[in-house]
Every structure is written in C-alpha cells, then in structure tokens.
Structure 1
Amino acid sequence: MTTHKETDILIIGGGIAGCIAAISLVNHYNVILIDKLSEPKERIGESLAPAAQRILKQLDLLEGMQLFEKEELYVQNLGMQSYWGSEQVHIVDHLRNPDGLSKSLNRKAFETYLRASAIKRGVQCIWPAKLYRSAFEANKWNVITTSDDHKEQCIKASFVIDATGRQSHFAKSLGIKRLHIDKLIACWATLPNKEENKMSTISATENGWWYSAVVPNNKRILAFQTDSDLIDRSAIKDLHAFIQLSKKNKQINQILEKNIDEITFQGTVAANSTRLEQVIGQQWVALGDAAISFDPLSSQGMFNAMASAQQLKKLLTTSDIIYNHTPVKEAQFQETYTQQINSIWDQYLYHKNLFYKAEMRWIEHPFWKRRQVRKS
C-alpha cells in the first residue's frame, strides 16, 4: 500500500545541510524532510568554524547546544598547531576571533540535535525513507520513497532540495554526473585523549597529511588524508597497517604511543573535492556536499552547508517561485543559484591550491605534484 503526502518543499537528506535548510524554511513553507537512515551515523569529528556560530545564533540553535551535558556535543578548540611547509610548528589560534573559538564536534550528536530541532520547529520528518524514484508532472515532483519494511510513500512537492551529500542521490537519479577533482580519502581512528595539549594538529608527510583533534567524551581522532591510488589497500582496512603508517609521522606517533592499545580503527571515507555538473534544474536544487564537496583541509564543509542553506532560503523567499511560479522567475532563480555556487567553488579552489602550494618539501612526490596544478 502506498501512502500519499503533499508539501511545498521536500528535502532529501537529514544531515547538516538538510536540517539547516528545513529549519530556515519551515516558517515560510510546508516542509518535509526525509533521510534513508533512522539516525545519523558516526563520522570523523569536525571543527565547526567560528563564523558558523553566527548562523546557529540566527536560527536560535546555539543556546540549545549549550544545554547539553559538558563535552557531550562539542569541546572548545583553542586553535591549530601546524607542521606544514617545514618541521617548525606554526600556531594558529582563535583567541582574537570576534566569533569566538571553533568547536570540535561529536558529529553524530550534532546531527541528532539538528534533527530534533527540526521536528520541534514543525518540520515533518520521515525516516528511514529512501529515495526510490521520481517524476516531474504538472509542475510538481512526485517522489516515491521506500522504508525498511518496503512500504512505499508518494510525496508530491512543488520544490525538491537534494541534500544527500556527496552521493547526490536525487541529482544522480536525473542522470547528472559528478566531477571529481582529485582522489583524496581519509582513513581515521579514535582513541582516548591523554594529551594535556588539546590543540588540533595538522602534519604534512610525503604522501599526504595527518590530522588529530580532541572531540567530546575525552576522545581524540587521528585521520590520514592521501590519494586512494597512493596507498596500500590494506592500510585503509586494517588497524595494524594504520598504526604502522602513523608511526612514520613524528607528531602523530607521539600521540599514539601513549595509548596504542586503545585505538579503534573506524575505516575510510571519501574526502575529495567534487561538484555536480549541474547544481539546479526545474524546481530542484542540490545543496551542501550534494552540490560541491570540499577537501577537509579547508575546514569549511559544515560552514558551507549552513551558509548555502541560508542563501537558498533567502533566494526562495525573495524570488517567490514556490507560490507564484513563472518560467521567467524560474530562469532567474536558476541563473542566480548557479552563480552563487560557482563563486563559492572558485573561491574554495583558489584557497585550497594556495594552501597546498605552501608545502614544498615533497614537490616531486605524486601527492604534492598533483596539487601544484590548478583544476576547475
């Protein structure tokens, strides 16, 4: 049996981009938010840029984060100690940042908080609900989803937002291809934190770079970023191989040697720079990582998801294409959104390439040599 629902906006993907978009839009439109997972999954702990706190404050979400038990959702991050370009440490702190300190997140807890906030604000949330197929008929999207027990649901929407991350499931179902700028992956592990120094660490090495940060519940993450074709496949699947790899880096080995018996290998995830060939179409857009995904070196993935959601909300409300749609408005909307995403992408590539070019010690090694040529 197929159930039927109707809404102004259907958002596919209950991560950061999808939740922020839903919370931003629910006071203006009827919004349904779906996700294929019943709850968020564990992810590498990430640093929430200080500027992102402005958006959370605007949406009355920042105060709610502070109500969580101490260090359950986030820990304050004083800054970064960087071994990049030389063995000399370089400290970058947030003490003088007008937006305050960055926050190292428990990513799963943060996304759970955003989902709960969306429900509280009146967003109709449905999960698990997996995209099955869609069709555009009579100026509406008919989206069919399936649940774990194989029940189908048809959601009729005036507008669809694809917030399904790098997989961009909705756009992909329309035949839109994704451009991959590089082959970056991140192999990561967790262990108890036993360091007095709680600053994050970034350390370049011959075939990639390491990242370590303290995250909630007194844990620390270790992550190695490299290209998928430059590493032995066993090193991205096996704890022993990961440990041997980490011992080759002085800074990471100093962290690891204190509790090597308590490390848990979490696996490997995509971390490359990608973008959709087309980020918008007839009454749909791709948002956040679904549109463009960033190298974690930028520390801008979550901020971009939030900021882009806010931009989209403003564009939707000012263009008035949901309730008063015309072909002219649609064309203007598509042009403006495409320009916005292109601008963000160009700025991202510029700063990414600038930072990678600051590391010249292994310029002839494939990992670094590949990053000396600008790609678009």
Structure 2
Amino acid sequence: MPMPASKPDFDVLIIGGGPAGAAAALTLRKRPDIKVLVVERGDYQQDKVGEALSPGTRELLRYLGVWEAFSGQQQLNIWGNQAAWGSDELHCLDFIFTLHGSGWGLNRRAFEQLLADAVQQQGGELWTQSRVEQLARTEAGWQVQVTDAQGQLRHLTCRYVIDAAGRASPWSLQAGAVRVRYDNLMGLANWLPRADGQQTEAFTLVEACEYGWWYGSPLPDGRLAVSLMSDQGLIQQQRLAKGDAWFALLAGTRHLRRLVSLDGPQPTPRASPAYSARVTPPPDKAPIVAAGDAVASHDPLSASGIPRALATGIQAARAAADALFGDGKLKKAYHDAVAQDFGQYLGNHWRIYQAEQRWPRADFWRFRTAQPQLAPTTLVGRGRAQESLFVPDKVARRLLELAASPQPAHQLLAGLSAEQPDLPVERLLLAMEELLAPA
C-alpha cells in the first residue's frame, strides 16, 4: 500500500515582503486555512525610494485591514504634484480637486513595517533577513531552500509560490516566464535636509533636464527624498553615481536646488533599477504567479508603484487561492488584466514623454519619443551603422548579420524577435531603421 504524501510545510510561499508580498499575504490570510510564509531579504530598517502615496490607495488599504493603523501612523499630507515638464515653469496638479483628497508623504520604513506586522497579526509567518536560494518543482508543488537570519539553510515544501521579489526577480523566469524590458532607466537617490528657511512643501516635484529628470518628495522627518532618473548608459558615461557629480547636477536644477541644502557631505547616491518591463507568464501550469514589479514594472513618473504593488498582490493571491481550491481560471484572467493595463501604460508613457520637446536630439529623450516608421514590406539590408541607441551592441551585431542579404523588414523582424523575446518589437524596429539602409 503506497504511503500517503506528506503534508507541505506551507500552502503558499511569498518571496518578497514589500507592499506586493504583504498585500498577497494579508489577502490569503482572509482564509484562516491557508498557511502562508513570507520570506523577506531585508529587515524594514533601510530608507527606500517611493516616498509618496497617491490618495486613491485608501480603498486598497481598507480592504487589507490596515487603513486605521495607516491613517494614525502617516501624518504628512501631500496635496499634489508640481512639474517643470515641457517648459521651465512649474505646473501643478492639486489632489484637492480629485475624488479622494490628499495623498501622503510616506515614512516608507514605518509603512512597510506596518504591513509586515499586520501579516503576522493575521497569522502569517514572516522571515526577515532571509533569502530563497532554490526552488525545485515537484508533483505537489515546490521544494524550497531558504537561508534564514541565522545563516542556516532551511529546507521546506509548499504548494504554490507568489513571486513578489521585485523588478530583477529570477523566480518566475526560472519557471519559464519571459521578462520583456522596455528601457534602462535607473534611479540615483539621496535623502537630504531642506534648505534654511524652506518649509517642507506639501507637493512632490518633478523637473525635466537634458539627461533625464529629477524627483523630490517631502518626508515626515523634514528631509526631502531626491532622485535623479536617467539611463544606465548615461549614468556610466557621465559617472553620475558618484556623489560629487550627482550634487553638481542637482545644483544646476532650477527648482529643486532651492528646496534642499547643498552644504555639508555629499554622500554617494543609492542606485536602484527603475526600468519598465512586463513578465509574460510561464508556458505551462507552473504553480507560481508574480506580483508587483515582478509581474510589471512601470516608470516611476507614473507614480503608481505602491498602489499597483498592493493591487497586484491582492489579485495574485486570489489567483493562487483559486489554483489551490478552485478551477484555476483566475490566473489567466489576472495575467490578461496585467497585459491590458501595461498596454495602456505604454501609450500614456509615450504621450507624457512626447510632451517634453526641449531636447529632441538628446539620447534620453530620443529613446523615449521615437516611433518606428518602417513598412513591413520594405527591403532592408546593407548596414549603415554599427551601434544603435535602441538595442544592446550584441543585438545590433546580430541584426547586421541577419541583414547580410536584403529581405523584407517583416521577415527580418520575425527572425530577430524569435531570438530576442525579451526585447519589445518596437525597439527592434527602431534599431532596424537606425542600422539598415533600404536596399
């Protein structure tokens, strides 16, 4: 007589304890019979980029059962966004004229700790300063190796995984998903004291520049979180990740420099990826679903990071619960909704960047505003350039190899796209226009 299968240690393992992972855990724990483990690499003590929360997030926090605690904790109201975008002058969007009223200037550490505490209060298990080392698929779900806070390697089993490990998470990709990456945006952040005589503004501020854009957000402790958003290649070429270079550029801004003190130390800014990407689901019925930036990451200019993390965490949890206890149809519906939302985001993203026309020849802006014009039947071949703004050098070289013999653009595109599924078709088309002359 065969031995019965052993009961898994957890029903759902959530990799990542940020807003997406915590939202997924709180959603799953609405069913007390679902045993949940959250594995978080940090300990909620480090400053993070993402310091303002839009007013429409309120209903998500209510659903998760943390609204009362949040409203008592976060006291700095944000009344709108100011932007010098498309001109040197500041323009303002006041939240007071929206349905939900003011937003919040976040104490991000306290906010994430609040969510983590709520997970534990609702019966979820949370391991901090821990990291998943390996996932191995089994008939019953997954075998998992985790290094815990004491440095001990722990072995456990679970039925389902929610990947909430961020933009660069490898876990969904290991299960067969593909991450399609649209740009190379990076953020370089410092947390700075305000200038003498400057009150903490109740507005966030965005200021465009030739090499990208700056973002400033007031914090409850009186400081300002200041980030430079630029492309990875430009950051490397100009050595912008060095403190002196970063502060020199900040001193050259028109609006943001007035709000912060530029005296004293010039710390090295903290770098973090900020690129736009979408993860297509694994081709089979692998018991894993992604949430937050691990499923779709948006440009920070959209100001949707935390609300989208909470919303996708909720929906990913529902898909996981449906896979375990229902008919499993919610997962496809969830991924379809993510794809539709991301398509709308791309259109809005292009229109917003297109509104800034002061530096049309600058690489940062040309990359984001160019639109492919190549007709599908155009014969292409005979390279006229060796490098492209729109694809990595190795892809440019491969494109030139494929174009050694003139052929219709759609045929060349199909071959290159099959080899480079992680690059958007639009970028491949733009590279073809840039590198190849019509035969």
Task: Give TM-score scaled by structure 2 length.
Answer: 0.77
1:316 deviation in Å? 4.5
Shift of 1:259: 4.5
Correspondence for 2:59: 54
Alignment-mate amino acid for residue 241 of structure 2: K
**Distance (Å, rounded) in 1 between the aligned partners of 2:38 and 2:167:** 18
Aligned CA distance change for structure 1 residues 74 and 224 (closer, same or farther; 3 Å): farther
SS of alignment partner, residue 366 of structure 2: helix
Contact 2:54 2:104 in 1 (8 A): yes
Instruction: State the partner residue of 1:372.
Output: 369
Cα distance change on mapping 1:223 and 1:38 into 2, 3 Å: closer
> Cα–Cα, structure 1 residues 306 and 236, in superposed 2: closer, same or farther, change >3 Å?
same
Q: Does the Cα contact within 8 Å between 1:171 and 1:286 map onto a contact in 2? A: yes
Q: Distance between the aligned counterparts of 1:174 and 1:284, measured in 2?
A: 8
**Counterpart in 1 of 2:171?**
170
8 Å Cα contact 1:85/1:358 also seen in 2: yes
Tell me by how many angstroms 1:172 deviates: 3.7
Report the CA distance shift for 1:263/1:295 in structure 2 as closer, same or farther (over 3 A): same
Would you say 1:98 and 2:95 are equivalent positions? no
| 1:286 paired residue number | 290
- Pair 1:74–1:234, CA change in 2 (3 A): farther
In structure 2, relative to structure 1, the CA distance for the partners of 1:234 and 1:84 (3 Å cut) is closer
Give the 5 Å matches for 1:139-218. 139-174=140-175, 176-194=177-195, 195-196=198-199, 197-218=201-222
Residue 335 of structure 1 and its aligned partner are, at CA, apart by 2.4
Residue by residue, what CA displacement relative to the aligned partner does 1:289-346 show, whole Å, maximum 9, x if unpaired? 11111111000011111111222344445xx32135xxxx34x344222202101211
Flag the 1:44–1:345 CA change in 2: closer, same or farther, 3 A. Answer: same
User: 5+ unaligned residues in a row in structure 2: which ranges?
Assistant: 1-6, 372-423, 427-439
Assess if the C-alpha contact under 8 Å between 1:191 and 1:221 holds in 2: yes
**In 1, distance between residues paired with 2:229 and 2:272?**
10
3-state SS, counterpart of residue 136 of structure 2: strand
Could you give the per-residue CA deviations for residues 7-43 of structure 1, whole angstroms, max 9, x where no partner exists?
2111111011000110111121221111122335321
Aligned to 1:304: 308
Q: What amino acid sits opposite 1:295 in the alignment?
A: D
Cα RMSD after superposing both structures? 2.2
For residue 122 of structure 1, what is the aligned residue in structure 2? 123
Identity rate, percent: 26
Give 1:104 deviation, angstroms: 1.7
When structure 1 is superposed on structure 2, of 355-364 and 259-268 the one drifting more is 259-268
**Equivalent position amino acid for 1:12 in 2:** I
Say how many residue pairs are matched. Answer: 361
Secondary structure of the structure 2 residue equivalent to 1:159: strand
| Deviation (angstroms), 1:373 | 3.3
Partner of 2:36: 31
**Contact 1:279 1:338 survives alignment (8 Å):** no
The higher-RCO structure (CA 8 Å, 6+ apart) is 1
Kindly provide the CA deviation profile for residues 174-227 of structure 1, in whole angstroms up to 9, marking residues without a partner as x.
354432211111111121224234322111111111111111211112111111
Deviates more, 1:298-307 or 1:31-40: 31-40
Q: CA deviation at 1:5?
A: 6.1
Displacement of 1:108: 1.8
Q: Cα gap change, 1:373/1:294 in structure 2, threshold over 3 Å: closer, same or farther?
A: same
The answer on whether the counterparts of 1:279 and 1:291 sit within 8 Å (CA) in structure 2 is no
Q: 1:6 aligned to 2:37?
A: no
Aligned-partner Cα distance in 1 for 2:55–2:268? 29
C-alpha distance in structure 1 between counterparts of 2:217 and 2:151, whole Å: 40
Of stretches 142-151 and 101-110 in structure 1, the one that deviates more from structure 2 is 142-151
**Which of 345, 348, 359 is the matching residue for 2:342?**
345
- Partners in 1 of 2:175 and 2:186 — Cα distance? 26
Is the CA contact (8 Å cut-off) linking 2:127 and 2:148 kept in structure 1? Answer: no
Say if 2:269 is the partner of 1:266: yes
Q: 1:18 to 1:40 in 2, by over 3 A?
A: farther
Distance across 1 between alignment mates of 2:277 and 2:116: 26
1:323 aligned onto 2:325: yes
Separation of aligned partners in 1, 2:346 and 2:90:
25
The partner residue of 1:362 within 340, 359, 362 is 359
**Residue pair 1:190, 1:264 contacting (<8 A) in 2 also:** no
Normalized per residue, which structure has more strand? 1
Q: Normalised by the size of structure 1, how large is the TM-score?
A: 0.89
Cα distance in 2 for partners of 1:176, 1:308 equals: 17
